[in-house]
Amino acid sequence: MLYVGIDLGGTGIKAGLITEDGTILAQADCPTGVERGHEAVIADMAKLALTVIEKGGKTLDDVKSIGIGLPGVQDPRTGHVPFCTNLYWHDVPVIELMNKYIDKPIYFDNDATVAGLAESVAGVSAGVKNSVFITLGTGVGGAIIIDGKPYSGANGVGSEVGHMITVIDGEPCTCGNSGCWERYASATAIIRMGREVAEKKPAGSIARAVGGDLSRITAKTIFDLAKEGDPDATELFNRYVYYLCVGIVNIINCVDPEVLVIGGGVSKAGDFLLNAVRAKLPSMVFYKAMPYARIELATLGNDAGIIGAAMLGR
């Protein structure tokens, strides 16, 4: 059987026709147009699903289910999306509305969860029973895969590893707490730290790399300078790696996965980042003489969304 996977984001919708083992047979996309409201967005998701089935030369009979990854969670009491800040959704019955157009089982889950599931089916953690996926971007998302299945917890509020408090009374977070891990381990955190250094040193290497326009500092600015051995960027990079490892160690000490996969924009720093994390961890894990999670970089990139969403119905 085949599966349709839909990756619903704030700016675009992507859909793919996917095989049992996570291979993409056909794909299509369109803009989200959040301002049109959820009914129009869901109608477009259904249309895209039918498009990729046709593009793949198949019919609805070949499809077992349709899965959706979205920037929200499922309320176990209602089965609805309780809220979705990026889409301006509130209490949306996604499954019912999709079924108006397509009479197939519909599944949905958080976008990070779906990306983690994709890696565990067709990516770097393929075949691994227990893995954790973290995505380092604007924020920090996470997915816990146990026995090959996404683990969302008893109330659907789990795997929000970005909101582990790692600094009591630390940086204020958008969630209302302070000191959340994503304030220290996201791309946003690297940019904030980079600006702080550049403000202190207006003639320093970081400020010079962006021609004095500090709003142009990105994670890549810092990583590129650190790769060249620039002292300010190296110091910042080392601090970032420590912050990143704090959360990774917390995950290892609690969830103890077989593999921990690093994805998201920051993971584009590649082996430079991976090797630094791998070098730092041994001194930080609790059981120093015991084996612990293998740390790997995600391999599926942007395709993880549609592959993982499709796999929700497996």
Whether 100 and 293 have beta carbons less than 8 Å apart is answered as: no
Judged by CB under 8 A, the stretch of 10-18, 54-62, 76-84, 196-204 that binds a second copy is 76-84
Whether 117 and 108 have beta carbons less than 8 Å apart is answered as: no
**Can you tell me which of 236, 252, 281, 306 binds a second copy, judged by CB under 8 A?**
252
Residues 31, 35, 39, 44, Cα dihedral to 10°: -10
- In the complex, what is the shortest distance from the CB of residue 203 to a second copy, in angstroms, rounded to a whole number? 29
Backbone angles phi, psi at 18, to 5 degrees: -125, 140
Using CB under 8 A as the binding rule, whether residue 305 contacts a second copy is answered as no
**Can you tell me which of 88, 231, 286, 301 binds a second copy, judged by CB under 8 A?**
286
Using CB under 8 A as the binding rule, whether residue 287 contacts a second copy is answered as yes
Using CB under 8 A as the binding rule, whether residue 282 contacts a second copy is answered as no
State which residue, 82 or 105, has the beta carbon closest to a second copy: 82
Using CB under 8 A as the binding rule, whether residue 71 contacts a second copy is answered as no
Using CB under 8 A as the binding rule, whether residue 152 contacts a second copy is answered as yes
Using CB under 8 A as the binding rule, whether residue 166 contacts a second copy is answered as yes
Residue 166 CB contacts under 8 Å (≥ 6 apart), including other chains: 179, 180, 181, 184, 243, 246, 247, 250
- In the complex, what is the shortest distance from the CB of residue 126 to a second copy, in angstroms, rounded to a whole number? 15
Residues 85, 88, 91, 94, Cα dihedral to 10°: -100
Residue 210 CB contacts under 8 Å (≥ 6 apart), including other chains: 198, 216, 217, 221
State which residue, 105 or 179, has the beta carbon closest to a second copy: 179
Strands 24-31 and 89-92 come out as unpaired
- In the complex, what is the shortest distance from the CB of residue 238 to a second copy, in angstroms, rounded to a whole number? 14
Using CB under 8 A as the binding rule, whether residue 257 contacts a second copy is answered as yes
Whether 110 and 117 have beta carbons less than 8 Å apart is answered as: no
Closest C-alpha to 187, from 249, 141, 143:
141
Using CB under 8 A as the binding rule, whether residue 61 contacts a second copy is answered as no
**Can you tell me which of 6, 24, 206, 285 binds a second copy, judged by CB under 8 A?**
285
- In the complex, what is the shortest distance from the CB of residue 59 to a second copy, in angstroms, rounded to a whole number? 38
State which residue, 5 or 139, has the beta carbon closest to a second copy: 139
Using CB under 8 A as the binding rule, whether residue 204 contacts a second copy is answered as no
DSSP code for 292: -
Q: Which of residues 226-245 bind a second copy (CB under 8 A)?
A: 242-243
- In the complex, what is the shortest distance from the CB of residue 233 to a second copy, in angstroms, rounded to a whole number? 20
What DSSP element (H or E) covers 259?
Answer: strand 259-263
Backbone angles phi, psi at 37, to 5 degrees: 90, 165
- In the complex, what is the shortest distance from the CB of residue 245 to a second copy, in angstroms, rounded to a whole number? 9
Backbone angles phi, psi at 307, to 5 degrees: -65, -50
Task: Name the residues that contact a second copy, by CB under 8 A.
Answer: 73, 75-77, 82-83, 129-130, 142, 144, 146, 151-161, 163-168, 170, 175-177, 184, 242-243, 246, 249-258, 283-293
